[in-house]
Chains A and B, each alone.
Chain A
Amino acid sequence: MMENVIEVKKLRKEFGDLVAVNNVSFNVEKGEVFGFLGPNGAGKSTTINMLCTILRKSGGEGYIAGKEITTDPEGVRKRIGIIFQENSLDSNLTAYENLYMHCQLYGVDKKVRKERINEVLDIVELTDRQKDQVMYFSGGMKRRLEIARGLLHYPQVLFLDEPTIGLDPQTRNKIWDFIKHLKERINLTIFLTTHYMDEAEYCDRIAIIDHGDIIALDTPDVLKDNLGGDVIEISTNDNQRAIEELDTLFGIESKQKDGVISFNVKKGNEFIPGMISKLSPTINSINLHRPTLNDVFLSLTGREIRDEQLTKQDIFKQKMRAGRH
């Protein structure tokens, strides 16, 4: 049996009337890369902040390496490394000084400090820049340095809150190479949040979170397979009729969004010719692809994750967040 490094039971957070995290429960096994996927304002950062003991929970329990997050926050802090969504380096200090100060804050043994710093600098390939002040670093370098810092005290769990937000695609890929590399090299448990679909694909398991609830939790492959095959998206000159016909002729349940009908079938490539000949409305466009996590999210919520339209609740949450800083 695998050992759970993170155990969360009915964790809850309220801001006034707003339920930001609604009794979520999940476990994360040792050595796993576990992702929290959801749109902005879904409760990802609130959850991660509670687990990192920055934010006080309203209810439930959370254990990191056996330590409860509110009854033993210092015990938890010693065992975790955190990479925040916003930069948290001191840009007036050099890379080395930032790392050394972290050693001091976390009580890393004096004798091993230099060695550890060299080790993590090597992992993130910043050895030759260690004497430079952080203000001269690019966004990607700062992120890498933060990851290095998070590893200095050999945490059992590394928390990454939107690790690649605001970075260019090339740097994002690089950061992900580091994360995967880390996992292999030191068997670290990684807990991360993201709203990028492609990043969630890298996770061993993901929890999809929306409006404070976990609405699905499994490996990316299982989640996609549960959709029942390939995704076909069509648009026609009479969508209503097409939806009815798909149901009566093929027994397929479909969804319509922005004038596009989408549904799932096994072996979509073989299904398309028959569909074209049998549907009476004229088909304007057809698109076939393997299901993505976005399709999973769409089928669970009826919305796309990248929809930037915010509900009133989301706006309220953003205000709450702004107010806390």
Chain B
Amino acid sequence: MEVIYSLWLRDVRKYLRDKARIFGSLAMPFIFLVLFGSGLSGSLQSMMSMGSNAGGLFSDFSYSEFMFPGIILMTSFMTALFGALSVVEDKEFGYMKEILVAPVSRTAIAIGKILGGSTVAVMQGLIMLVFAPLIGVDLSFLMILQLLGVMIIVAFAISGIGLLLATKMKTTQGFQMIVQMLVMPMIFLSGAMFPINGLPDWMSFVVRINPLTYAVDMFKTIILNKEAMNPMMKQALGLDLEIWGMPVTFTAEILIYLVASLVILFFATQSFKHTEA
């Protein structure tokens, strides 16, 4: 148990020590939310008001607000995935040897690394909440608690995927290439940036097999208060997520993520057992 704690603490400590990383990580979301989001929000509104009937309904629609859940997810997703970079770095810089020759189980090491990576990802996601007042999102304490819960589950699953990838990679450059290749398509095809309705069939299919879609949907459900939303608005924003004709519920999403986390954890630890320093 203490091994898990010590590896977890190492990752968290190194994160907190790296002030540049913490502040730097605010830049991208700021650009997306404030510059891109606010700008697009205005132009969308003027375009919509030219249309016939829906103008009134969307008059209080803010694109930044729509993007906000996606941005939080994007941040924790990227942090969690890149968190596993530390595993590849440890291999490159030799520290992995120190860990691997210790008389501890590989499973404990893998769990420690996943927990460390996901904690950092959750912290990074929570930092994104500072943008809420800036773009006019009201967050209640309960919403923050719900967000925290969902973030933990998602970050754990994604960190597991990161570790799985990291055990296969020998260089940090290689790892970064692979992750970059994954990150952008997964984010764009998750509904984080634009509503996922009226998409071409092939795209709609990819969106529905993308695990991030359901994570984004959970974030939106909480932040945009989906349940209390006008049905027309809900449809327009692509929040009535369906897969093969069945509506996807919040509970189902949580369960899927929990099960997926355990499966990923299993494969990641198995793969880590065969890793060589």
Contact = CB atoms under 8 A, between A and B. Distances in A.
A complexed with B: yes
Interface of A: 52-55, 74-75, 77-78, 82, 84, 86-93, 97, 101-102, 104-107, 149, 324-325
In the A-B complex, list the 10 residue pairs whose CB atoms are closest, starting with the nearest: A104-B6, A105-B102, A88-B94, A77-B103, A78-B103, A88-B98, A74-B103, A86-B94, A88-B97, A90-B95
Nearest to B4: A104
B5 A52 contact: no
A102 B14 contact: no
Contacts of A92: 14, 17
A149 B97 CA distance: 13
A277 B2 CA distance: 77
A84 B102 contact: no
Contact of A102 (B17, B93, B98): B98
A305 B241 CA distance: 71
A52 B95 CA distance: 15
* Interface of B: prevailing SS: helix
Contact of A105 (B6, B90, B94): B6
B99 interface: yes
Contacts of A104: 2-3, 5-6
Interface string B10-33: 100110010000000000000000
20 contacts: A53-B101, A55-B276, A75-B103, A77-B103, A84-B97, A86-B94, A86-B97, A87-B93, A88-B97, A89-B98, A90-B10, A90-B95, A90-B98, A93-B13, A101-B10, A104-B2, A105-B6, A105-B99, A325-B91, A325-B277
Interface of B: 2-3, 5-6, 10, 13-14, 17, 90-95, 97-104, 170, 276-277
Pick the most buried of B13, B17, B103: most chain A CB atoms within 10 A of its CB: B103
Given A90-B98, A91-B93, A93-B14, 7 more contacts: A75-B103, A77-B103, A82-B97, A84-B98, A102-B102, A104-B3, A107-B2
Contacts of A88: 94-95, 97-98
A93 B90 CA distance: 13
B68 to A, nearest CB: 33
Contacts of B100: 54
B276 A324 contact: yes
Contacts of A102: 98, 102
Contacts of B2: 104, 107
Nearest to B18: A92
Contacts of B3: 104-105
By CB atoms of chain B within 10 A, which of A54, A55, A90, A106 has the most?
A90
A84 B17 CA distance: 27
A269 B52 CA distance: 113
A3 B203 CA distance: 71
A89 B93 CA distance: 8
A53 B99 CA distance: 13
A87 B277 CA distance: 13
B172 to A, nearest CB: 13
B277 A54 contact: yes
A312 to B, nearest CB: 25
Given A101-B10, A325-B170, A54 B95 contact: no
A75 B92 CA distance: 27
Contacts of A149: 98
A273 B104 CA distance: 66
A90 B5 CA distance: 17
Contacts of B94: 84, 86-89
A102 B2 CA distance: 11
A28 to B, nearest CB: 19
A86 B98 CA distance: 11
Given A104-B2, A104-B3, A107-B2, A52 B10 contact: no
Contacts of B92: 325
B98 A93 contact: no
A91 B86 CA distance: 13
A78 B92 CA distance: 25
A6 B101 CA distance: 18
Contact of B101 (A54, A93, A324): A54
A106 B97 contact: no
Contacts of B103: 74-75, 77-78, 105-107
A215 to B, nearest CB: 29
Nearest to B277: A54
Nearest to B99: A105
Contacts of A74: 103
Contacts of B97: 54, 82, 84, 86, 88
Contacts of B98: 84, 88-90, 102, 105, 149
Nearest to A146: B98
Nearest to A133: B17
Contacts of A89: 94-95, 98
Nearest to B104: A105
